[in-house]
Structure 1
């Protein structure tokens, strides 16, 4: 027996030598994602990190106390089982809250302190003024130093556009760009302007002498009209044709046959001369009906990359990143993962909407000194949410929401299985059905697997009893109630 344990110990040590704990933990997380599903994984496990492995104890770190308590209560056995697949000698898990930290990643040519300290407010005053691009006296639109590749959050819905934009920026010194023109399109607030600014910053970082011009379509039209009035249109066009990279935002607003014709000539001249052009609009070139056919054809002749509507995972990542910034800059502010999950579920329109929500949470805390709870978050962002009127809740909605939230199958909720991991979500589902619907106890029992009304009554009383002693459970059920009502 001792010999077998020694072999197991040697095997575990050998496995750990072959690959670092970070690689093994990545495999553990991958299996957790497969077992629990994408939504549960994104909500609770994406930010968990392995800190140390010693004496059979796997030390894991998380971002918040709430997340630590949640994982201990709900997923301890699941995580331990998966961990033992990589570290057979693991006997237990230890969850701890890591110290909050945030590293600002501005454009590398901008001198901003990289580490956020307690004097972060004073440091923020060192943020440079927006850079206004231009060439030979022609003034472009300003570049925001916060909009860099480092601050852009990448997800499944924008990774192609991000990769293409990054490649264009890195290829600025090459004789021939791989994507010219690059056309980015998507709805408002999904990151098109951010990527245009990021390209400009990166090009200037790599090649400070590069002639970069960033313009909105409105700014281009205004400049051209002024040149016409000053009888200087030829010089205006020559200036544009001698720049290294032209970035045009909001192309859908470019109007007027004369202006479009001159822009098309400029576009052809730049591309034929090996100069990079990047254009952003709210729809693909073929759908820009106000542009003539030749321009639509030329704009679509390079790479067309769509930025799609953000999925839950990307929304959560954006909220988490902005919340980390806010917490690092605001003494005492804490935003739990429950609040982030609630906001990511409810705010689905744009990145600006998500950032606005975090700004409001931060301002509320600074003004009232009240902790950021789901109730506070809901009140603050109520006007950002669609469907302000509470909708009618159905038992099917409750089954779907509870199943998704706890990572259990709907069939398990309706089955006769008595595992604690299933019984508790089932009881909470019955409690919510009684609270949020007009169904009688016998009706609720029938919908939850043909159970007797006394079983439903017992579940309701049990949940009420647990809520009276468990603050975490009260917050959890409050989250479910809001998800169902909104």
Structure 2
């Protein structure tokens, strides 16, 4: 390709990746597609490069048809995709890794948290945990009545081994209440207390992908053994752990770490006994330590969070002043999550920087109106949708998740998937997993089917609108 054609092809591939991100969701896109690069397009073939042989095999077996369908929107004559591993990149990365391991690691002061690199690798094939945000520490976590127990337990397990009585520690609560903040804080504090300790923080989906990779590479034993040498294992989003084999191996790992005096911390959106996708043994083991709920924030905690974030913003922005009257107004009106509160403070600061006008109650009212328009009055969960659909159509929830193809089951199942897409932020693969481990193409078909029925059938449209009102009220 000429340089001009090469640039055009790469721009087209970036558009394909944007569509993939929109269709599959940020988590799936980041796990599988962010590092996929276009080498060239010639003779009806798009040559794509990936980082590992596992990625090459996984994408070809799970996403080939979906990727080529989206790619044909850019190259109408495209006939096939060719996935290849970027071997030179691996050699360079391996050399860099060896050089880094050979060099003495400098001690970094805790105050320079942004410079710290936690020992997150398990040692299996360079499998890394998720990155930590240096801003998410115990110092920046605001404590109130709703999160006091969770905060105290998190401090306990992140210290000098005194937290073994809380093993595993299980944190649960709705989105935006501080679970991930506490997980990051535990990792930072543990590393400060034990610089030589091995810490691994990752999501349940990341654990699953690592284990599947190990199975494909026929190196599962090394993967499991490397995990069992971790001093602190932190798992986020446990509600997404699926598959009997993976659950069984995770349970073995959990038992091995706890029996060996290693600390395990887990977070999910529900308590262990409400995680229906986990088997009974897993739920029992996770609930065997300390289960701490992070409850919805009361008005006092919301005001404390706003005050702390506003104080930080004023320190960083010369001339900015945010009165307690404004903060009290926001604390009364914004009740959903800590992220919503932080977003309000960011908007106040941006309004001041852009207009150079004092922050007034009128500005706060405008921000609240904008935030209220952008959020739903009630956060709907997939469990709520499945329960409501089952009750409305007189079918068992188990039937919705089963493989039964009766029309009386298929239609409610499709409606449930459609409502999940409309009323939650979950991606298509996540919805599919919650409906009996179906793939994203099945979910997409169900959504399009219901959309077509709603456009053709007034009664169906009214039925869907009734279900939406029931779920939102």
Could you state the TM-score of these two structures normalised by the residue count of structure 1? 0.53
Deviates more, 1:137-146 or 1:324-333: 137-146
**Secondary structure in 2 matching 1:220:** helix
1:440-471 C-alpha deviation (Å, 9 max, x unpaired): xxxxxxxxxxxxxxxxxxxxxxxxxxxxxxxx
Residue 234 (structure 1) aligned to one of 221, 227, 232: 221
Structure 2 distance, partners of 1:385, 1:313, is 20
2:457 corresponds to:
none
Structure 2 distance, partners of 1:129, 1:163, is 25
Structure 2 distance, partners of 1:364, 1:187, is 30
State the 1:128 CA deviation.
Answer: 3.2
Q: Could you tell me whether the CA contact under 8 Å between 2:119 and 2:199 is conserved in 1? A: no
Runs of at least 4 residues of structure 1 off by over 3 A?
126-132, 386-389
Whether 2:129 is the aligned partner of 1:140: answer yes
Q: Could you tell me whether the CA contact under 8 Å between 2:119 and 2:198 is conserved in 1? A: no
Deviates more, 1:187-196 or 1:225-234: 225-234
Residue 186 (structure 2) aligned to one of 185, 192, 199: 199
1:455 corresponds to:
none
Whether 2:288 is the aligned partner of 1:288: answer no
Structure 1 distance, partners of 2:370, 2:350, is 16
State the 1:388 CA deviation.
Answer: 9.4
Structure 2 distance, partners of 1:245, 1:282, is 21
**Secondary structure in 2 matching 1:382:** helix
1:8 corresponds to:
none
Structure 2 distance, partners of 1:337, 1:301, is 44
Q: Could you tell me whether the CA contact under 8 Å between 1:217 and 1:254 is conserved in 2? A: yes
Q: Could you tell me whether the CA contact under 8 Å between 2:171 and 2:292 is conserved in 1? A: yes
2:321 corresponds to:
334
Q: Within 5 Å, which residues of 2 pair with 1:64-103?
A: none
Residue 371 (structure 1) aligned to one of 340, 346, 358: 358
Residue 212 (structure 2) aligned to one of 225, 229, 239: 225
Q: Within 5 Å, which residues of 2 pair with 1:121-270?
A: 127-128=114-115, 131=118, 133-136=120-123, 137-172=126-161, 177-270=164-257
Structure 2 distance, partners of 1:218, 1:110, is 30
Q: Could you tell me whether the CA contact under 8 Å between 2:242 and 2:277 is conserved in 1? A: yes
2:58 corresponds to:
none
Structure 2 distance, partners of 1:131, 1:353, is 29
Q: Could you tell me whether the CA contact under 8 Å between 1:360 and 1:380 is conserved in 2? A: yes
Structure 2 distance, partners of 1:381, 1:130, is 38
State the 1:135 CA deviation.
Answer: 2.6
**Secondary structure in 2 matching 1:280:** strand
Structure 1 distance, partners of 2:326, 2:158, is 36
Q: Could you tell me whether the CA contact under 8 Å between 2:170 and 2:292 is conserved in 1? A: yes
2:111 corresponds to:
111
Structure 2 distance, partners of 1:207, 1:292, is 34
Q: Within 5 Å, which residues of 2 pair with 1:431-442?
A: none
State the 1:110 CA deviation.
Answer: 2.8
State the 1:385 CA deviation.
Answer: 2.3
Q: Could you tell me whether the CA contact under 8 Å between 2:118 and 2:191 is conserved in 1? A: no
State the 1:138 CA deviation.
Answer: 2.9
- Higher share of residues assigned helix: 2
Whether 2:294 is the aligned partner of 1:310: answer no
1:323 corresponds to:
310
Equivalent residues, number: 267
Deviates more, 1:309-318 or 1:222-231: 222-231
Structure 1 distance, partners of 2:342, 2:189, is 24
2:349 corresponds to:
362
Q: Could you tell me whether the CA contact under 8 Å between 2:177 and 2:295 is conserved in 1? A: yes
1:216-275 C-alpha deviation (Å, 9 max, x unpaired): 111111111111111111111111011111000010111111111111111111111111
User: Considering only aligned residues, what root-mean-square deviation do their CA atoms show, in Å?
Assistant: 2.0
Could you state the TM-score of these two structures normalised by the residue count of structure 2? 0.54
**Secondary structure in 1 matching 2:171:** strand
Structure 2 distance, partners of 1:152, 1:285, is 24
State the 1:140 CA deviation.
Answer: 0.6
Structure 1 distance, partners of 2:299, 2:153, is 23
Deviates more, 1:372-381 or 1:324-333: 372-381
Structure 2 distance, partners of 1:132, 1:271, is 20
Q: Mark the CA change 1:299 to 1:388 in structure 2 (over 3 Å): closer, same or farther.
A: closer
Q: Could you tell me whether the CA contact under 8 Å between 1:316 and 1:340 is conserved in 2? A: yes
Q: Within 5 Å, which residues of 2 pair with 1:15-94?
A: none
Q: Could you tell me whether the CA contact under 8 Å between 2:169 and 2:289 is conserved in 1? A: yes
Structure 2 distance, partners of 1:331, 1:130, is 32
2:449 corresponds to:
none
Structure 2 distance, partners of 1:339, 1:280, is 34
Structure 2 distance, partners of 1:153, 1:130, is 25
Runs of 5+ in structure 2 lacking a partner? 1-107, 377-473
Structure 2 distance, partners of 1:127, 1:171, is 23
